[in-house]
Amino acid sequence: MSDSEPLATDDAASADVATRSDSAPEPVSSNGRLLSWVSTVDHKKIGILYICTAVFFLAIGGLEALLIRVQLLFPNNTFLSPDLFNQMFTMHGTTMVFLVGMPVLVGFQNYFVPLMIGARDVAFPRLNAMSYWLLPFGGILLYFSFMTGQAPDAGWFSYAPLSTKPYNLMPAQDYWIIGLICLGVGSVAASINIFVTVLQCRAPGMSLQRVPLFVWMSLMTAILTILALPALNSALAMLLIDRLLGAAFFEPARGGSAVLWQHYFWVFGHPEVYILILPAFGMISEVIPVFSRKPIYGYAFVAGSSAVIVLLSYGVWAHHMFAVGLGMGADMFFAVGTLLIALPTGLKVFNWTATMWGGSIRLTTAMMFAVAFLLEFVIGGLTGVMFAAVPIDWQLTDTYFVVGHFHYVLIGGTVFGLFSATYYWFPKMTGRMLSERLGKWQLWLWVFGLNATFLSQHVLGVMGMPRRVYTYADNPGWMALNAFAGAGAVAMAAGTLVMLLNIWVSLRRGEKAGDNPWEGFTLEWATSSPPPPENFAVIPEVSSRRPVWDLDHPDAADGQREQTPADSGWRPDKSITSIWAFVASEAVFFLLLLVAYVVFNTDLVGEITSASVLDVPRTALFSVALLGSSFTLWRAEALLKVGKLSEFRLWLALTIVLGAIFIGGQAIEYYGLISSEVTISDNLFTATFFTVTGFHGLHVIVGLIALGVVFVLAAKQDRHVLHGTTLKAIGIYWHFVDVVWIFVFCIIYLGFMQ
């Protein structure tokens, strides 16, 4: 809760740090500069840290891709062993999604969302630093697996039972799971931060209908992340319990369900695709208008359709599972859903094209990458629509056609969007221009590389070459196509080196950029390049979607041309909003654990079931204590509001006692079960029972700690606790934990839904 302190403190801290590193006239020792980066809470520095870390892992992930290409250069090649090949494609996929794609996008969001909405920093600067540091931590954990003799090798979606203990004895898979949990926690924290920042920190006049599209897309991505990552986290938790504690959630041989892993993974995995592409949509929605000298065509459609994508993306996951055999009915519905989600995605291409139509286009490198995005992303999008047709999916799934398809989306879409944004925003971040000449080299190397590699793979896929197999027989044409794909990979690697060279040269002696080299429209161009630690000396007045355009062209200001909904001036409370976002995320986590309980306990036969081992009346008694604690906390809140401090402390103490009684009850129950040899590894009832109640108990304990901290601070007359929204925020969490228990009790103890 330390993050709910007023922004002023954090501002002071970041300004202090920045003074030491940036504007201090005396020479700074390299030690001090390093410290200023490691200890920073400035959103711009954290954004750059995110981006640099992502580039570091890009090099590693790219190297892994090149090794894969070398192995596939000839038929029957033995350059990589089959085992090592499995590790390479697993680590390549995992690295590119979790250590490159998500961090680099979060990095740009971190840097530019506050600038574009005219804020001094993100809502929670210190939480922001924590989110970042979980990234290298998770990345190191993942790569530390190499030290154990073997890297993870079950593919980036780690399908069960391949990822379970009987098939995967090495600890590498455990590192994979724990690393991803770390990264997942960091991503959710970062997203809650962005979510609250966009809702709470906007400059006066900037209604949500006026935010730049990159900001809007960041908001949508944040919502997606908050609600999708917990699905992965619950699956990871269950897999880890399988592997370390001997449960059998995903082991079919012991009654578990491998298909359940697929469901859970793709409930996360499909929204993840949009987590990776929506920010790129936002980036080219900034670049194309600026270099066409026109406002975006159909702002409301671009923004609104992205909201629709967010909603639909949770309903189409099973199209990754057509080959599993879900039944004709399910296949049909998911096929239709998939075709539907192509509409809000595909129609936006027309918005971007129409924005260019009739504009005075400047073909800078940034703009050319944006145009390349439009062309290449359409290819990836259309092959995606092909997969919505179930028979085509059956024919092509697990071939190189799939690999080609999603690389067109992720490179043609996400990466090209990122390159476009890099050339567009580099001057703002560093104060220096990138070389256009080198930029065009990079562009054409990448355009050639992308098409050479992945168009070849489309053809190979149609010819029947399966993905994830370490080599292939000498079939006619396969070697030529694979060699061509290899050449493309080399071109992309060369293009990346050109970009790094470009950045290195520019940082040393690049042309000075000035505040607004591109004559941009949005607020980040209203401050110096690079921006000062406090971002803005004066925040310009916002009365349209293009405040800087209005400032530069008062005669042709947007407000005279088109009215946009005005700002009501209302901003939600930081703590309350963030806790609601957190609670929503946790709700998804518990929901999936409870679904697993229902799945595994319907029709469960055996000696150990909920009916045979649980003492329902006793637990009901302890449940009353927990539910009672919600009431007492509510009383405490009310008493605090009217300033009756001593009574408030009494009711708060009562809340803590009641919560502790509940935990004590749970301890008695666990002790009784374990001493009669009912443990988590017995069967699917015990596995689901201990997992659900265990995680709930952990949440109660966390709540108790938070309440305890509040109690101590209240005793010390802390003004944040006594006058702020801290207690209310913790109250929301506490009530949520109680509501979860109602569901847990009804489903596990009373046997509802079975």
Partner 1 sequence: MIELISDRALWNWWSPAWFVAAVVAVLYGRYPGWTSLSKSLWLIAGLSVLVFAFVSPLGVLADGFLFSAHMIQHLLLLLVVPLCLVLSLPPSSAEPAFSGTVDEGSLRKMMRRVMKNPIAGWSVGLGAMWFWHVPAFCNAATENYMISVVRTVTFLAAGLLFWWPIYSPRKQARLPASHAVVYLFSACLGCTLLGIYITFTTITVCPAFASPEERLAVMIALHDAGMTSSVDQQLGGLLMWVPPCSLYVAAIVSVLCRWYAVGEPGEAGLAVTRTAEVR
As measured in angstroms, the least distance from the Cβ of 238 to partner 1 is 17
* Residue 481, phi-psi category: left (phi > 0), alpha (psi -120 to 50), beta (remainder): alpha
Of the candidate spans 113-121, 143-151, 248-256, 331-339, the one that interacts with partner 1 by CB under 8 A turns out to be 331-339
Site string for partner 1, 185-214 (x = CB under 8 A): ----------------------xxx-----
> Hey, is 143 helix, strand or coil?
helix
Rule CB under 8 A: is residue 564 a binding residue for partner 1?
yes
Strand-pairing partners, residue 466, are 399
Strand-pairing partners, residue 399, are 466
Report the residue number, 409 or 595, with the smaller CB distance to partner 1. Answer: 595
Check residue 22 and report its DSSP letter: I
Report DSSP letters for 649-690, one per residue.
HHHHHHHHHHHHHHHHHHHHHHHHHHHTT--TTS-HHHHHHH
> Hey, is 516 helix, strand or coil?
coil
Report the residue number, 29 or 568, with the smaller CB distance to partner 1. Answer: 568
Count residues near partner 1 (CB under 8 A).
36
Rule CB under 8 A: is residue 337 a binding residue for partner 1?
yes
Measured distance CA(479)–CA(642) in Å, rounded = 78
Q: Which of 130, 131, 133, 142 is nearest to 57 (CA)?
A: 142
As measured in angstroms, the least distance from the Cβ of 341 to partner 1 is 10
Report the residue number, 311 or 667, with the smaller CB distance to partner 1. Answer: 311
As measured in angstroms, the least distance from the Cβ of 741 to partner 1 is 18
Of the candidate spans 155-163, 172-180, 296-304, 416-424, the one that interacts with partner 1 by CB under 8 A turns out to be 296-304
Instruction: State which of residues 39, 563, 612, 676 lies at the interface with partner 1 (CB under 8 A).
Output: 563
Query: Which residue shows structure tokens 């640099």?
Result: 52
Report the residue number, 7 or 584, with the smaller CB distance to partner 1. Answer: 584
Instruction: State which of residues 25, 149, 476, 565 lies at the interface with partner 1 (CB under 8 A).
Output: 565
Report the residue number, 399 or 544, with the smaller CB distance to partner 1. Answer: 544
Of the candidate spans 307-315, 346-354, 611-619, 738-746, the one that interacts with partner 1 by CB under 8 A turns out to be 307-315
**The pair of three-digit structure tokens given for residue 636, joined into one six-digit string:** 């405490």
Instruction: State which of residues 129, 177, 226, 303 lies at the interface with partner 1 (CB under 8 A).
Output: 303
Helical spans, DSSP H, in 293-327: 299-312
Of the candidate spans 243-251, 302-310, 514-522, 708-716, the one that interacts with partner 1 by CB under 8 A turns out to be 302-310
Measured distance CA(488)–CA(116) in Å, rounded = 37
Report the residue number, 284 or 303, with the smaller CB distance to partner 1. Answer: 303
Instruction: State which of residues 311, 667, 715, 742 lies at the interface with partner 1 (CB under 8 A).
Output: 311
As measured in angstroms, the least distance from the Cβ of 46 to partner 1 is 28
Instruction: State which of residues 159, 333, 444, 484 lies at the interface with partner 1 (CB under 8 A).
Output: 333
Of the candidate spans 326-334, 347-355, 394-402, 612-620, the one that interacts with partner 1 by CB under 8 A turns out to be 326-334
Report the residue number, 307 or 650, with the smaller CB distance to partner 1. Answer: 307
Rule CB under 8 A: is residue 336 a binding residue for partner 1?
yes
**The pair of three-digit structure tokens given for residue 336, joined into one six-digit string:** 């239709």
Instruction: State which of residues 340, 342, 501, 616 lies at the interface with partner 1 (CB under 8 A).
Output: 340
Measured distance CA(705)–CA(708) in Å, rounded = 5
As measured in angstroms, the least distance from the Cβ of 149 to partner 1 is 40
Measured distance CA(626)–CA(665) in Å, rounded = 10
> Hey, is 383 helix, strand or coil?
helix
Q: Which of 61, 132, 67, 59 is nearest to 95 (CA)?
A: 61
Report the residue number, 25 or 327, with the smaller CB distance to partner 1. Answer: 327
User: What residues between 74 and 103 interact with partner 1 by CB under 8 A?
Assistant: none
**The pair of three-digit structure tokens given for residue 266, joined into one six-digit string:** 């793709």
Q: Which of 195, 58, 65, 66 is nearest to 127 (CA)?
A: 195
As measured in angstroms, the least distance from the Cβ of 301 to partner 1 is 9
Of the candidate spans 48-56, 360-368, 562-570, 641-649, the one that interacts with partner 1 by CB under 8 A turns out to be 562-570
Rule CB under 8 A: is residue 642 a binding residue for partner 1?
no
Strand-pairing partners, residue 432, are 512
Please classify residue 329 by burial: count the beta carbons closer than 10 Å to its beta carbon, then call 0-12 exposed, 13-18 middle and 19+ buried.
exposed
Report the residue number, 340 or 459, with the smaller CB distance to partner 1. Answer: 340
Measured distance CA(393)–CA(322) in Å, rounded = 7
Question: How far, in whole angstroms, is CA 223 from its chain's centroid?
Answer: 9
Site string for partner 1, 568-607 (x = CB under 8 A): xxx--------------------x---x--xx--xx----
Measured distance CA(23)–CA(529) in Å, rounded = 14
As measured in angstroms, the least distance from the Cβ of 633 to partner 1 is 18
As measured in angstroms, the least distance from the Cβ of 273 to partner 1 is 18
Measured distance CA(5)–CA(398) in Å, rounded = 51
Measured distance CA(178)–CA(159) in Å, rounded = 16
Rule CB under 8 A: is residue 330 a binding residue for partner 1?
yes
As measured in angstroms, the least distance from the Cβ of 18 to partner 1 is 34
Helical spans, DSSP H, in 255-327: 258-292, 299-312
As measured in angstroms, the least distance from the Cβ of 573 to partner 1 is 8
Rule CB under 8 A: is residue 637 a binding residue for partner 1?
no
Is the omega angle on the peptide bond into residue 531 within 30 degrees of 0, that is, cis? Answer: no
Report the residue number, 511 or 562, with the smaller CB distance to partner 1. Answer: 562
Per-residue buried b or exposed e for 61-85, using 16+ beta carbons within 10 Å of the residue's own CB: bbebbbbbbebbebeebeebeeeeb
Measured distance CA(406)–CA(584) in Å, rounded = 30
As measured in angstroms, the least distance from the Cβ of 594 to partner 1 is 10
- The three-point CA angle 17-19-21 to 5° equals 75
As measured in angstroms, the least distance from the Cβ of 613 to partner 1 is 22
Q: Which of 689, 624, 694, 631 is nearest to 662 (CA)?
A: 624
As measured in angstroms, the least distance from the Cβ of 336 to partner 1 is 7
Strand-pairing partners, residue 512, are 432
Instruction: State which of residues 32, 304, 358, 606 lies at the interface with partner 1 (CB under 8 A).
Output: 304
Rule CB under 8 A: is residue 343 a binding residue for partner 1?
no
Rule CB under 8 A: is residue 312 a binding residue for partner 1?
yes
Report the residue number, 207 or 681, with the smaller CB distance to partner 1. Answer: 207
Report the Cα–Cα distance between both ends of the chain, in Å, rounded.
Answer: 39
As measured in angstroms, the least distance from the Cβ of 413 to partner 1 is 23
Rule CB under 8 A: is residue 692 a binding residue for partner 1?
no
As measured in angstroms, the least distance from the Cβ of 732 to partner 1 is 12
Rule CB under 8 A: is residue 694 a binding residue for partner 1?
no
Measured distance CA(152)–CA(91) in Å, rounded = 7
As measured in angstroms, the least distance from the Cβ of 304 to partner 1 is 4
Q: Which residues bind partner 1 (CB under 8 A)?
A: 207-209, 299-300, 303-304, 307-308, 311-312, 314-315, 327, 329-330, 333, 336-337, 340, 563-570, 591, 595, 598-599, 602-603, 753-754
